[in-house]
Structure 1
């Protein structure tokens, strides 16, 4: 006799135990201590000397660069949770009905990300974004930069170039505002569906998902230009929006997979079987290759054309003693490892493989953002040390606390989803 979803406890809630909270808080505290030691070491190092530029280097610039790397990176993981949720509805997917709440839980970080990002922009702007210096826009100043002056309208319109980057700030606020709005809309409809059932809510969520995906398509690219590409103001790449999206997407998929596997290990999500796990493994595998394709396409076109304003980006990184090793770390963790380990069917079904690969991919894509931000902000004064490790641990554990807390608030399964039965019988 065929099983029905009614055999399962569909009201099951995740219990965020005191022991688990304590473990995550311990990591957060360790991260904070490591970060503090890193900051003190940097202050004692007294790096206040100019290296091939007009501006001296100060310890806090490295701290600011780390804040920015983690802000952008974890914002991406949060928005990808909502994006992947919306994709399931837009594609009328049934297989994923049992794990929708896991995707949605990542969106709870978005309000925190918005606050951190907007506040930190006003603190770090001069040290992260070269274009915020007003002397670059004054033709009579020795620092005048014709190229940056030409791009000034993109940051400052309709105000005077070099004053307050109102256009940039408006985009920052609007993107987060809409992302949080769409997340709340999808979340509330999803929870209401639990109470009322029927297919009306599924249709409503589908409509809102489609609207969100259209907005996300535009905002994810522009935010990549604003928050990351504008750091290297002279440089540009027409593939950059895709590149940042691909990096976010693989990291987000890996995080979702890790949470699903973790919940399965703890005895939750009874409906989720090895076929669902296999599908998540396939997504991680496929989009790791997609990321590599974008990485290689951007690199090859720039390498082949050899135009100075494009190639400077890779020259800065490949010829640097500080950053060149990380290019290989980036490629090994984000392509070779998932490609070779997840190639077989069995590997995608085994929790142990997925745990290792997904954890390393999350670290790998952090390095990807590290490589995008540090060279343009710190030059040769960057690197991977205590400050980077500490800040990463603080952010990662804070995000984990928020996501786990969100999972504990409501039932783990969308019990009135019209395709729950299909998800239960999912077999590949």
Structure 2
């Protein structure tokens, strides 16, 4: 069987990605002129909060692909090798979206509007005991330095993993060379996992998201954020695998691989729910004012509907639909669930941000969804171009055979 190793970008796909980016750009322009240029700091906050929520969410989603690559590399797993280039292509979006996110974050920190990050107001910090206590790490300099180190680290280590993958496309390995190659991959994957643990699984959600409510904290917050972005990342990988299969590519991918991706979606949806319940119920049950203040606008205020819709989409739907073996092996069902999960966790990030900056009313979401479409278009554009640059199979990888004969 002749394999289609070279991806050709369909014209309709390219036009759709450009159209989505145009919608996103138009939404940013409209929101900028309706809110961003206002003399009212609260109106300006509406604009910057939307950019913050969308940029951070989609950056963490595309970065989840590299985490998936490195975690399976450390496990010496081979089942995923038949669609390895899909995960690599999605992770290649990190440098571009990372730079966009950094520009947005630093504009918020140094822009003079303190409504999102109250700790950026030096005068306010002087009269706030909690913020004074935290200023050793919660300050503009450390926030900026660690954010830049984080994004650059993701970029460089991700680039190294992709280079290792493509370096053997035209050079078959001997047994000894294969052992050395696997060990080298393992070492670089371990370095990435260490950085990922120090950022996504700990400090970065504190800075980028939790510090919006600088008086509140949760020891589960970073794991919660990781679970939300990772299951959305798996959903994005699944959508691309199904898309390429439907267009005659990835001939080595079978329903067995799709089944395993479905199991990842199901498992991490349950994991996300466990963290959701643990964080919410323990805080609400304890009823300590400085802790429940975070959930008050979400659980009892105007965001109550979004709060429970979030739970329905991200827990009940995956639980009821993906529990069955057949649904995880059905192209239509798994695609529908992947799209729903991506939207559901976008909604999760929405309720992480907006109830903290707009407690009295829920902003009209149309502009936020438009900006989200812009990021979707950008991911489509960048991912397709990376896919077209390299063979769709890691043809000489020592574990490729394991993926070909994979049975779950």
Bin the TM-score by the shorter chain.
over 0.9
CA distance in 1, matches of 2:39, 2:360: 12
**How many aligned residue pairs are there?**
398
1:15 aligns with 2:3: no
| Equivalent position of 1:213 in the other structure | 193
CA distance in 2, matches of 1:30, 1:197: 45
CA distance in 1, matches of 2:108, 2:370: 19
1:30 aligns with 2:13: no
CA distance in 1, matches of 2:65, 2:300: 36
Describe the superposition over 1:274-322 as per-residue Cα deviations: whole angstroms up to 9, x where unpaired. Answer: 101111011111111110111001111111211111111111211222x
Report matched runs for 1:268-347 at 5 Å: 268-321=249-302, 323-347=303-327
| Equivalent position of 2:42 in the other structure | 57
Give the 4+ runs in structure 1 shifted more than 6 A. Answer: none
| Equivalent position of 1:168 in the other structure | 143
TM-score (structure 1 length as normaliser): 0.89
Note closer, same or farther for the CA distance 1:417–1:343 as it changes in structure 2 (3 Å cut). same
CA distance in 1, matches of 2:69, 2:241: 14
**How big is the shift at 1:324?**
1.1
Equivalent in 125, 131, 152 of residue 135 of structure 2: 152
| Equivalent position of 2:100 in the other structure | 116
CA distance in 1, matches of 2:30, 2:149: 37
Note closer, same or farther for the CA distance 1:310–1:8 as it changes in structure 2 (3 Å cut). farther
Equivalent in 203, 206, 214 of residue 233 of structure 1: 214
| Equivalent position of 2:79 in the other structure | 95
- Contact 1:228–1:372 (CA under 8 A) maintained in structure 2: yes
**How big is the shift at 1:175?**
0.8
Describe the superposition over 1:346-391 as per-residue Cα deviations: whole angstroms up to 9, x where unpaired. Answer: 1000110011110011000001111111122233244242211211
Equivalent in 208, 213, 228 of residue 247 of structure 1: 228
- Contact 2:228–2:272 (CA under 8 A) maintained in structure 1: yes
Deviates more, 1:68-77 or 1:33-42: 33-42
**How big is the shift at 1:186?**
0.4
Q: What secondary structure is seen at the aligned counterpart in 2 of 1:194?
A: coil
**How big is the shift at 1:41?**
5.5
Q: What secondary structure is seen at the aligned counterpart in 2 of 1:76?
A: helix
- Contact 2:35–2:47 (CA under 8 A) maintained in structure 1: no
| Equivalent position of 1:259 in the other structure | 240
- Contact 1:258–1:355 (CA under 8 A) maintained in structure 2: yes
CA distance in 1, matches of 2:36, 2:389: 42
| Equivalent position of 2:119 in the other structure | 131
Note closer, same or farther for the CA distance 1:15–1:184 as it changes in structure 2 (3 Å cut). same
| Equivalent position of 1:192 in the other structure | 167
CA distance in 2, matches of 1:177, 1:47: 35
Note closer, same or farther for the CA distance 1:213–1:64 as it changes in structure 2 (3 Å cut). same
Deviates more, 1:311-320 or 1:117-126: 117-126
Unpaired stretches in structure 2, ≥5 consecutive residues: none
**How big is the shift at 1:205?**
1.1
CA distance in 1, matches of 2:283, 2:274: 14
Note closer, same or farther for the CA distance 1:421–1:122 as it changes in structure 2 (3 Å cut). closer
Note closer, same or farther for the CA distance 1:47–1:330 as it changes in structure 2 (3 Å cut). farther
Q: What secondary structure is seen at the aligned counterpart in 1 of 2:276?
A: helix
Q: What secondary structure is seen at the aligned counterpart in 1 of 2:79?
A: coil
CA distance in 1, matches of 2:28, 2:288: 39
